[in-house]
Structure formats: C-alpha cells, structure tokens
C-alpha cells in the first residue's frame, strides 16, 4: 500500500468515525447534508441516495439497545469507511481524487463533533477529563478505573490541609 493509499484509507476511516460520532448530536444535520453533497459530486440522484442511507444509519444508531450500541456503531463506522474508500478508489483521475480528498478533509475539519471514546454502562459514570472521588468524615467512596491513574492530592487540598493541621506522615514512616 502506497503512502497515498494509506492517507486515503485514514481519511476514509475518519469519515466513517465522523458519521457514527455525529449521529444523534447537533452536528448530525451539517455532516449529513455536507457528506451527501460530497458523495453526490454534482449528481442529485446520487446525493438523494446517500441522504437516504445516512438517514437509515442515523435512525438505526438512535434506536439501538444500549448493550448493542458499540457493536452497531463499529459496524456503521466500517460501512461508511468502505463507502468513502470506494468512492475515492473509483475516481480515475489522480487530480480528481486529490480534490475529493481535500474536500472531505475540509468537510470533516468544519465539524464540531463530540469527543468519542468515553462511555459507561447503565448505572455508570463516564468522565472524559479529571474526576475526584473523595471520602470524608467516615464515608465511603468507590470507583472502578479503566485507564491511567495519577495518585495525589490536588494542590488546593494540600494547601488547605497545611493551614488546618500538620501533614500526616507518609507510608514509609509507618
């Protein structure tokens, strides 16, 4: 696979991810319309066909049961990645392929998509940033961690503690 082919495959993957990330969000209508025009390439019938497929994708993603959501999203990511890759591959002229790729990159760059990758099962809490879990006054705090963990007290808590009471000994002091 050449560098160009790899770049186009990565672009197609980004397009497939954009479809499943935007579905059900405020970004959906903009992506749906822009992507249909991109696929249509000036052919209204082809644009309408893509709009119907995008509507079907959006409806399926909106109605899928929570326990199947990720597998359905993965399937649609792959479907749209393949559709985008096929369109790019079917363009005979290298210059036309380059213009189509540039247009798709610009389309994707204009989108304001929600961040993907953070999700929780029913009853869980998903955090895409920092989370502080604190137990005070004999209470209990618990969390399940999947990912990196950085242990330490926040600066504000340390400053507050140093004003109120002496710093407790660290674990090496017993």
Q: Residue ranges of the domains in the chain?
A: 3-110
Mean pLDDT of the chain: 79
Strand (E) or helix (H) holding 161? helix 155-164
Whether the Cβ atoms of residue 112 and residue 25 lie closer than 8 Å to each other? no
Predicted confidence (pLDDT) at residue 72 exceeds the cutoff of 60:
yes
Alpha carbon distance 39, 27 (integer Å): 18
Predicted confidence (pLDDT) at residue 110 exceeds the cutoff of 60:
yes
Predicted confidence (pLDDT) at residue 84 exceeds the cutoff of 90:
yes
Given pLDDT bands bounded at 50, 70 and 90, which one contains residue 122? very low
Token code pair at residue 58? 């959006």
Pick the range with the lowest mean pLDDT from 89-93, 95-99, 153-157, 169-173: 153-157
């Amino acid at each position: 696979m050449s560098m160009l082919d790899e770049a186009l495959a990565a672009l197609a993957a980004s397009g497939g991810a954009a479809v499943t990330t935007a579905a059900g969000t405020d970004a959906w209508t903009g992506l749906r319309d822009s992507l249909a025009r991109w696929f249509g390439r000036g052919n209204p019938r082809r644009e309408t066909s893509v709009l119907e497929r995008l509507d079907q994708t959006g409806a399926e993603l909106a109605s899928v049961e929570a326990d199947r959501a990720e597998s359905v999203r993965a399937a649609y990511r792959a479907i749209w990645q393949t559709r985008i890759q096929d369109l790019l591959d079917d363009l005979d002229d290298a210059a036309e392929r380059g213009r189509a790729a540039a247009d798709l990159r610009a389309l994707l760059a204009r989108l304001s998509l929600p961040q993907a990758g953070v999700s929780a099962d029913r009853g869980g809490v998903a955090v895409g940033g920092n989370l502080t879990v604190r137990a005070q006054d004999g209470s209990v705090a618990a969390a399940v961690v999947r990912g990196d963990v950085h242990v330490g007290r926040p600066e504000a808590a340390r400053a507050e503690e140093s004003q109120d009471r002496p710093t407790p000994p660290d674990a090496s002091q017993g």
